[in-house]
């Protein structure tokens, strides 16, 4: 339970609204396009992993309150004007972003007051901002627009996350890459192979969890509709056809490989009760698979907290409507103020 998020507060998202969302173990967020559903997922991930990202520039701060009252947060902090002036001066004669920032910090007399984390975040955020403002004319507007860094929460219990984006999977399923041994493959197939290795390792460490059996049972509740059976033979995930032919998972369609990847990530997340963030998992799924998705996910992992963004009401079938949240119900003009340590 300590790994569960109790509430999420996001201040000044898109410079126009605040988010206040109370969570359960399984949460399904729906709503119209363009309202920030996927952005919320990325902000949750950034606050927990404490890594800067372009999404943090879209709000003032993010606060996640856990069941054990720990708080993960990311708070925007303006870069001191004196340092900003030095950065602009350095960048006026250089388009090498990293060297310019290094030089700026070297010449800024107050730089010793910044700890390593602040300096690292200043570098990341300055580079992100200047990549968006790449022309000389845009750089000249930095004085007015300003730059910012992020302060992250400290002294909180570490928590792992599994971010699953079907949008990214679609691209990875067709983006080819050549391995060091010269064999062609795709990014998705490499990711599946890595997750299979994790599964086998976890299965060896925790044989009592029956991870391989849980995985194949749930996948086959879906794949049986297509006259295919998923098995794990000699530490390889294989596909058996009715005629007895044996296929590699790499010979499945991109949609079926995405399903395999989703379930591998979900079952591996059960080992550490990792938070599962899923962005539009229904993409490439047949309607009947969408209806079964949450049931089967819950069979392989009933411990992790899950937050899903979707456009498909079918995912809520089979008794999951209590998990539904419409984004319009968690968006406010103002939310109660809260302190950030």
At 283 the pLDDT is: 84
Give the model's pLDDT for residue 130: 52
- Confirm if 281 and 164 have CB atoms less than 8 A apart: yes
What count of other Cβ atoms lies within 10 Å of the Cβ of residue 225? 12
How do residues 148-198 score in pLDDT, each as one tens digit?
566 777 666 678 999 998 776 655 555 665 555 556 678 889 999 999 999
Determine, yes or no, domain membership for 19.
no
Residue 31 lies in a domain: no
Q: Is the pLDDT of residue 303 over 50?
A: yes
Number of domains in the chain: 1
Domain assignment of residue 211, yes or no: no
Q: Is residue 74 part of a domain?
A: no
Q: Which residue has the higher pLDDT, 117 or 74?
A: 74
List the domain range (segments joined by +) for residue 86.
80-146
* pLDDT value of residue 284: 78
- Main-chain dihedrals φ then ψ at residue 44, nearest 5 degrees: -60, -45
Percent of the chain scored above 70 by pLDDT? Answer: 69
Q: Does the structure show a pLDDT above 50 at 34?
A: yes
Convert the pLDDT of each residue in 219-278 to its tens digit.
999 999 899 999 999 889 999 998 989 999 999 988 899 999 999 999 999 999 999 999
Find the angle CA(160)-CA(200)-CA(205) to the nearest 5 degrees: 70
Q: Tell me what the mean pLDDT of segment 48-61 comes to.
A: 85
Instruction: Report yes or no on 183 lying in a domain.
Output: no
Residue 134 lies in a domain: yes
Tell me if 125 is assigned to some domain: yes
Give mean pLDDT, residues 70-94: 68
Confidence class of residue 57 from pLDDT cuts 50, 70 and 90? confident
- Tell me whether residue 197 is in a domain: no
Q: What is the pTM of this model?
A: 0.78
């Amino acid at each position: 339970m300590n790994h569960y998020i109790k509430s999420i507060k996001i201040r000044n998202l898109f410079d126009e609204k605040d988010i206040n969302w109370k969570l359960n173990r399984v949460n399904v967020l729906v709503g119209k396009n363009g309202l920030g559903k996927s952005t919320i997922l990325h902000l949750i991930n950034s606050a927990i992993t404490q890594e800067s990202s372009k999404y943090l520039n879209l709000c003032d701060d993010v606060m996640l309150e856990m069941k054990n009252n720990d708080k993960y947060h990311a708070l925007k902090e303006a870069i001191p004007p004196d340092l900003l002036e030095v950065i602009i001066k350095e960048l006026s004669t250089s388009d090498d972003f990293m060297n310019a920032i290094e030089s700026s910090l070297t010449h800024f007399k107050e730089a010793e007051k910044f700890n390593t984390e602040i300096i690292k975040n200043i570098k990341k955020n300055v580079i992100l901002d200047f990549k968006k403002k790449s022309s000389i004319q845009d750089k000249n507007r930095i004085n007015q627009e300003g730059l910012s860094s992020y302060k992250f929460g400290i002294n909180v219990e570490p928590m792992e996350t599994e971010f699953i984006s079907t949008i990214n999977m679609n691209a990875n399923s067709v983006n080819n890459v050549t391995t060091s041994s010269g064999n062609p493959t795709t990014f998705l197939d490499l990711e599946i192979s890595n997750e299979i290795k994790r599964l086998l390792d976890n299965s060896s460490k925790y044989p009592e969890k029956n991870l391989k059996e849980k995985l194949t049972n749930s996948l086959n509740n879906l794949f049986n509709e297509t006259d295919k059976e998923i098995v794990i033979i000699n530490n390889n995930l294989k596909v058996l056809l009715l005629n007895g032919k044996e296929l590699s998972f790499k010979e499945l369609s991109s949609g079926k490989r995405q399903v395999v990847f989703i379930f591998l990530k979900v079952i591996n997340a059960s080992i550490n009760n990792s938070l599962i963030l899923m962005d539009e998992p229904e993409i490439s799924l047949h309607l009947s698979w969408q209806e079964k998705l949450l049931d089967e996910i819950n069979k392989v992992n009933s411990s992790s907290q899950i937050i899903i963004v979707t456009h498909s009401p079918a995912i809520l079938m089979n008794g999951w409507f209590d998990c539904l949240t419409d984004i319009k119900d968690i968006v406010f003009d103002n939310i109660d103020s809260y302190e950030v340590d």
